[in-house]
A and B are shown apart, each in its own frame.
Chain A
């Protein structure tokens, strides 16, 4: 199973490093990243393999969410199927 992790907010040093570290610690394997900064606005979308997750998926979602909240970032973690079904026939 793959999850899409979206991170948006004001650009800062170490966003990718922080989120990737958290993923690595929890056993999520990042397989793709797209990232851009538009007039100080940071947007990153990661695709991560989560079959080897060491914590329940719901806990992983909550941890990323609170990690983001502490740094004024919005982090949403969702099963990739919701994007696939909505945007591909």
Chain B
């Protein structure tokens, strides 16, 4: 029977509080596309993606209409390209990126992820060539996203890769300097990367995954924020309960959409990512949730505690709502993609050091942060090393997506458009870590990785 309050609550969440499905991401294996001939390899990739995902956008649209819930993005993730490109040279890797771009544009999806390499323990020749091709690949494509896993709790930190990624990020920034260094917004460096993540720029279709899978990421910071506002002056135990209940409802919608998409596309359902993913729109911000919890501004002392509680409650509430949970699962804090974070960073309340501390207790890491364009590659490598070590030591995913905005300095701002938003350029500590970074080698895996 109809319960008026339930119906109105759901409609209000969607219409007023920006509840949406952030992404339906189809993971596609490219392992059977391998060929010695570069043209044939690219043709195989193009044909496979356009065949498998032919109805992805259309089906997303149908579900959106039927259930009345916006599905903001339809995306594709593929097998890490370094495993598919094999013995080919750097130029072929760039060609593969262009092929992925062409397939994505033809299908009408928003992004395609998987121009990726996994090098936590060391480089293969093909992963080395893929990384060398990243700056050209990202500057010569629009929708391709790239990620490199440089560390894991089991393997430790590949510091040669950390150093190389510092340089690769700088080079990508330069190659896309006429577009606000946007290439760097599509490049993530990971520790403990998940294999089934539906979110960009870090999505790829891992090697243990099935031929094809549907993964869904939900959103809903506005819903949580409004619920906290309505709750008034309750204590933190009551607040945690409220966030759990809200997260449950948000995730149930994700589960419903994921199941329906999988059924209609005749592809196995993979996971729901229990996420609180912000957008630059007002009323869709994770920072504003923290402020609604009682902080004057995001970045104030107390922010890490508030975020830790929020992140935990989101997972506890969400986990029962979905049959399979995976991906990144947690609250995201991408600076340029969150209206409240942008305001806090512009007001000088949110420093890189505070953001780093926050990443120890929530999903992902230093995300979409614009830094001065003249930041040396070694300093960027230092930022990566710190952030990645937090992930390795805490057995969690961490990542770095820094944008050294070409020609910009502290206090300037840079705009990427759409969901990628805009960001004030924030200060980095520029004391040189060069000698430490130049040592290279591997930081050994922590003792608690030995669990057998």
**Hey, which bits of chain A sit against chain B, CB under 8 A?**
4, 6, 8, 32, 34, 36, 43, 45, 47, 57-58, 61, 76-79, 81-83, 85-87
Contacts and interface: CB of A to CB of B under 8 A. Distances in A.
B52 interface: no
B8 A6 contact: yes
A35 to B, nearest CB: 9
Contacts of B69: 78, 82
B252 A85 contact: yes
A29 B10 CA distance: 23
A6 B50 CA distance: 39
A83 B11 CA distance: 9
Contact of A34 (B4, B68, B255): B4
Given A86-B253, A87-B249, A78 B67 contact: yes
Contact of A45 (B7, B65, B256): B7
Residue among B10, B69, B255 having the largest count of chain A Cβ atoms under 10 Å: B10
B3 interface: yes
Contacts of B241: none
Contacts of B68: 61, 76-79, 82
A23 to B, nearest CB: 15
Contacts of B65: 57-58, 61
Contacts of B2: 4, 32, 34, 45, 47
> 4 smallest A-B Cβ distances: which pairs?
A78-B68, A87-B6, A58-B65, A85-B256
Given A57-B65, A61-B65, A81-B67, A86 B4 contact: no
Interface string B1-30: 111101111110001000000000000000
B8 A86 contact: no
A4 B7 contact: yes
Residue among B1, B68, B69, B253 having the largest count of chain A Cβ atoms under 10 Å: B68
Please report whether the interface of chain A is mostly helix, strand, loop or mixed according to DSSP: strand
Residue among B7, B15, B256 having the largest count of chain A Cβ atoms under 10 Å: B7
A26 B93 CA distance: 54
Interface size grouping (class) on chain B? 20 to 34
Given A6-B11, A57-B65, A79-B66, 8 more contacts: A4-B7, A43-B4, A57-B66, A61-B68, A76-B11, A78-B11, A78-B68, A87-B3
B62 interface: yes
Contacts of A36: 4
A86 B247 CA distance: 10
Residue among B8, B11, B15 having the largest count of chain A Cβ atoms under 10 Å: B11
Interface in B32-70: 62, 65-69
B352 to A, nearest CB: 38
B66 A6 contact: no
Residue among A57, A61, A87 having the largest count of chain B Cβ atoms under 10 Å: A87
A85 B253 CA distance: 7
B262 to A, nearest CB: 15
A83 B66 CA distance: 13
Contacts of A86: 6, 10, 249, 252-253
Contacts of A45: 2, 4, 7-8
A58 B66 contact: yes
B210 to A, nearest CB: 25
Interface in B193-223: none
A83 B69 CA distance: 11
A43 B5 CA distance: 11
A81 B7 contact: no
A39 to B, nearest CB: 16
A81 B256 contact: yes
Contacts of A43: 4, 8
A83 B253 contact: no
Contacts of B11: 6, 76, 78
